[in-house]
Chain A
Amino acid sequence: MRRREFVARTCAGLVALTPGLPRVPVFGRAAPWLLVPMDDGQSDHLKAYGLAFRLLERGGKAEWFLNYRGGAFLLPADGATRRDAALAGITTEPLDDGRLVEVRGEIQNGNMDAVPLEKAPKVAVYAPPNAAPWDDAVTMALNYAGIKFEKIWDPEVVGQGLRSFDWLHLHHEDFTGQYSKFFLNYAGAPWLMEMVQQNRAMARSLGYPSVPAEKRAVAQAISQFVERGGFLFAMCTATETLDLALAADGVDIAAAYADGSPMDANATAAMRWERSLAFQDAHLELSPTMPVYSDIDGHQVNSPDRRQPLGSFTLFNFSAKIDPVATMLVQNHRQVIPDFYGLTTSYTRRRLKPKVTILAEETGAPWVKYIHGERGQGTWTFFGGHDPEDPQHQIGDAPTDLSLHPHSPGYRLILNNVLFPAAKKKELKT
């Protein structure tokens, strides 16, 4: 059964069932349900995702009320959930059966839907072993929300380790194997030397002739993970370089410092875009000193002549009942969100494949911010930029403290992605 069909059928079933979740035995006058509002009445939007996730981990069931009060959650009012919410400072509202029927009626009559959350996905974050926990927006969001995850890196990915995970996150990894193209501009910097040494050692130990060759193998393993039904969420430069690595099968797109041979002068023409997930027909950046990969990125933050200023991006409205997947990914209490830079900040419209779903765009600009698509049995979501609460992020900046941004709409988009797989019943096909 295809995903959309599955979700549509499940949602139709839910509307018919009132209430749809196992009811908590009621002692005294306590309400059996907790509504977790996700509009401006919520005191900690980000931790609310963790509350739902932990409930699923305990074997409980929840519902996600798409487009209702900012994407509210319905949870059973059991003791553990109440305690968890109180400790985390999450706003909850007790809901009795009568009020729940009213809420369901409201959902049925509007552009809203109720999606069951059934199983906590097994989450993996792709990061080198020594990566600082505070240099990746997703790791920070997961830590803050209290969502368990495992870190994996190249040996696990090429060694079939992805088969035990449902959800994979990539951040600022350079899958072209060029060390984010910082090799020449930051020559001598200790962090760069460590990165180079670590990657070269890893490529050698896995039996690849160079880092670009090894990273391409990793990119292909990730693509296969999606094909098999995995959920991929990538941010920043991982999005662009993953697709470049996939499309560069047999084409040398890496500078001489990375693999000993200069980039193929005809690389742009030789790319095989049928292999990539999201992008096509991009022009590659030929200069090895310019920390820019291609014209996929609309903002070109590291190109003094092409760098574009930051604006804000707008989330699309989708039909919750017809397109619940896209609706889940854009649940938010804000529709317009300030933009933020990353090595890859945005995606030029003319480089998107026709089947890509645009989730957020900068109105009037030739680029979009947040995109989604399918490959085989799985899905991928790309979100441009590095850190939604550090718009000008520079190397060495202090880490973002999310307790100062508990309502961050940008971070909410990340957490929508983490919870989105919980809405699906099927197991990964292996």
Chain B
Amino acid sequence: MSLSRLVKVSGVLLALSAAPRVLAAQGATLPHAFELERRGDYQGAVEAYRGVLSRNPSEVSALLGLERVLLPLNRSVEILPDLRAALKASPSNAALYGVALRAWGAADQPDSMRAVAERWARIAPGDEAPYREWGSAALATRHRDGALEAYRLGRERLGRDDVLAAEMAQLSITDGDYATAAREWLPAVRRLPGYRVTAVATLGHAPATKRSEILRILSAETDFTARRLESELRVRWGDPLGGLAALESALPTGRAQSLDALRGLVEQLRMQRSHDALLAQGRALEAIAARLSGSQAARTRLEAAQAYSSAGDREAARRMLAGLADDRSAPGAVSSGAASALLSVLIGEGKLTEAAGRLRELRPQLSGEEHAALSRALATAYVRQGELDRADSVLGGDSTIEGFALAGRIRLYRGDLNGAVESFKEAGPYAGERAEATRRTMLLALLQPIEADTLRSLGAALLQLEQGDTAQALAELQSVAADLPPAKGGAELRLLTGRLAAAKGDRELAERLYREAASREAPATAPAAELALAELMLADRRGADAVKQLEHLILTYPESALVPQARRTLDLARGAVPET
């Protein structure tokens, strides 16, 4: 076969092999093209979309589909011939121009982008879209100046300052020009209030050095939009009271609008737990309550009281609660919530007699559980004042596990070690807050090895600790420990005293007590004392000493339950694991 004949035959064969695919593409429907795209057959989808476009060049869905599938193939520019055909067939179809701008952008042809935008603007005078899409296409290809040109031209042509303001603001943010961004966001939010969230989010990232300028720009304006932006930014930047003040200074007279603004601020404040944030939250809630009536007002006053109480402003909390607890018309949950809050305030203020009186009065309104919880809170407050008889009386026959736990503490402070152990055992290891449960377990471990049934000096020392007099408690606990043999509670008490000394910052005393507690005669206590000693050394940056101590612990007490923790601490001391 001659070469020319071979070429001809090969050409025919190639044409025949390609024919079915071409024919299939020509007969393709839009759903088929979508299906191919969904399956990830982008090449097939390209041909299918082109098949649709060959019959209807201005089919927007097909053109958009073609744009999508060419992108992952890194062939976006190949859409241009299809686009030209589409624009020729339907020159006034605005949807085609957006695709055209992106295609020219991908081809890195800024002049063509501009020409397309101008053509689009001619068929849609007064519309911002041509300029917005032009800018967006320029940004997609990282042509920041091209985007700026598009936005400026749009603003100039349309003759209004608020045209494309949001786009200009975002562009300024990417430039780090927060002042201009603030000036642009104002008209954008005034025109479309929905932009406020984005404005606050973007301006909120401004570095600390730029914030005062932004606030100055916003505070120079007098309208509510500017005030609200300023308020939300102040809260975000850690000035919740300033934020509240900014908002209050321009609250609109309309109830709905002012409520919306105040509620928005409260939502923002709820994410912060600082004193000022809680106080601002209380004040905002009080302002909301003043604009409401009936049960909604009562609930909001209660929330305000709780916020004030958490912020330590008991006077304001009481003002909110005044009458609420006795208000028979208030919903039950609000009334009992108010009663609880009021009692907590009284207890916090140390007005225990008044609190006890209120508790008696409120008894009929409260459920059994609520009454028991408030009684325990009051009993705990009596314990802290050293009035153990009153605490006992208020606690009464509380048979909840929290009640047993508290009863155990009262017995312990009286020096009744046996009674305390019994109550703690009845309470079990899980009642109450985690910290409280841990403390109880620790006390149980402390008391069990002591042989004496009663030890008033120990009870008195632990009561002083409860009352916050750590220095006196430390001295007395050391004195009690000195009289106890290591295996009969002496080691355990020294360990506790050592921990108190460490917490108080007396590391030298802590180390001495830990060493005394790490006695071979008290093998149940010694590993914990050695571990505490090693942790103290680590905190003092005595890594080598800590390593030695931990190795001693692991090798001497290999069966101790603390060995895994010791190994973990050893890893930390050696830098084998990250500090968490």
Contacts and interface: CB of A to CB of B under 8 A. Distances in A.
Interface stretch (A69-77, A80-88, A221-229): A80-88
Nearest to B42: A305
Given A87-B551, A144-B576, A403 B571 contact: yes
Contacts of A144: 571, 576-577
A18 interface: no
Residue from B142, B551, B555, B576 having most chain A Cβ neighbours under 10 A:
B576
Nearest to B176: A188
Contact of B568 (A286, A305, A306, A403): A403
A147 to B, nearest CB: 10
A399 interface: yes
B218 to A, nearest CB: 25
A289 interface: yes
A154 B578 CA distance: 26
A87 B558 CA distance: 9
A89 B580 CA distance: 21
A287 B75 CA distance: 12
Interface string A33-76: 00000000000000000000000000000000000000000000
B205 to A, nearest CB: 11
Contact of A89 (B72, B564, B575, B576): B564
A88 B563 CA distance: 10
A287 B555 CA distance: 59
A245 to B, nearest CB: 23
B567 A88 contact: yes
B74 interface: yes
A403 B573 CA distance: 13
Given A89-B567, A286-B74, A305-B72, A83 B555 contact: yes
B577 A306 contact: no
B516 to A, nearest CB: 25
B36 interface: no
Nearest to B550: A87
Interface in A285-337: 286-287, 289, 305-306
Q: Interface extent on A, as a size class?
A: 20 to 34
Interface residues of B, number: 20
B578 A87 contact: no
Interface in A92-149: 133-134, 143-146
B142 A289 contact: yes
A289 B141 CA distance: 10
A146 B573 CA distance: 12
A184 interface: yes
B559 to A, nearest CB: 12
B502 interface: no
A401 interface: yes
A146 B576 CA distance: 7
Contacts of B551: 87
B71 interface: yes
Nearest to A404: B577
B567 A143 contact: no
Interface string A396-424: 00111111000000000000000000000
A87 B577 contact: no
B577 A403 contact: yes
A87 B571 CA distance: 10
B233 interface: no
B577 A86 contact: no
Interface string B536-559: 000000000000000100110010
B574 interface: yes
A359 B456 CA distance: 71
B391 interface: no
Contact of B72 (A289, A306, A398): A306
A133 B563 CA distance: 26
B570 interface: yes
Nearest to A306: B72
Nearest to A290: B74
A274 B563 CA distance: 54
Contacts of B578: 133-134, 399-401
B558 A86 contact: yes
B548 to A, nearest CB: 11
Interface string A379-404: 00000000000000000001111110
A402 B74 contact: no
Nearest to B73: A305
A133 B579 CA distance: 11
Contacts of A305: 71-72
A303 B568 CA distance: 39
B555 A87 contact: yes
Given A87-B551, A89-B563, A143 B575 contact: yes
A429 to B, nearest CB: 34
Contacts of B71: 305
Contacts of B563: 89
Interface string B442-464: 00000000000000000000000
A287 B74 contact: yes
B248 to A, nearest CB: 37
Given A89-B563, A305-B72, A184 B142 contact: yes
A401 B577 contact: yes
A403 B574 CA distance: 13
Given A289-B142, A403-B568, A146 B74 contact: no
Nearest to A89: B567
A87 B554 contact: yes
Nearest to A146: B576
Nearest to A288: B142
Contacts of A87: 551, 554-555, 567, 570
Contacts of B74: 286-287
Nearest to A145: B576
Given A144-B571, A289-B142, A305-B71, A86 B555 contact: yes
Given A87-B570, A144-B571, A286-B74, A402 B577 contact: yes
Nearest to A285: B74
A40 to B, nearest CB: 18
Nearest to B571: A403
B578 to A, nearest CB: 4
A319 B373 CA distance: 70
B580 A401 contact: yes
A181 B476 CA distance: 66
A87 B564 CA distance: 10
Interface in B112-148: 142
Nearest to B567: A89
A57 B454 CA distance: 59
Interface string B264-281: 000000000000000000
A306 B74 CA distance: 12
20 contacts: A83-B555, A86-B554, A87-B554, A87-B555, A87-B567, A89-B564, A144-B571, A144-B576, A144-B577, A184-B142, A286-B74, A287-B74, A305-B72, A306-B72, A398-B580, A400-B578, A401-B577, A402-B576, A403-B568, A403-B576
Given A146-B576, A289-B142, 16 more contacts: A83-B555, A86-B555, A87-B555, A87-B570, A133-B575, A133-B578, A134-B578, A144-B571, A146-B574, A184-B142, A305-B72, A306-B72, A398-B580, A400-B578, A401-B580, A403-B568
Interface of B: 71-72, 74, 142, 551, 554-555, 558, 563-564, 567-568, 570-571, 574-578, 580
Interface of A: 83, 86-89, 133-134, 143-146, 184, 286-287, 289, 305-306, 398-403
Q: Which 7 pairs of residues, A with B, have the shortest CB-CB distance?
A: A305-B72, A399-B578, A134-B578, A143-B576, A403-B577, A144-B576, A89-B567
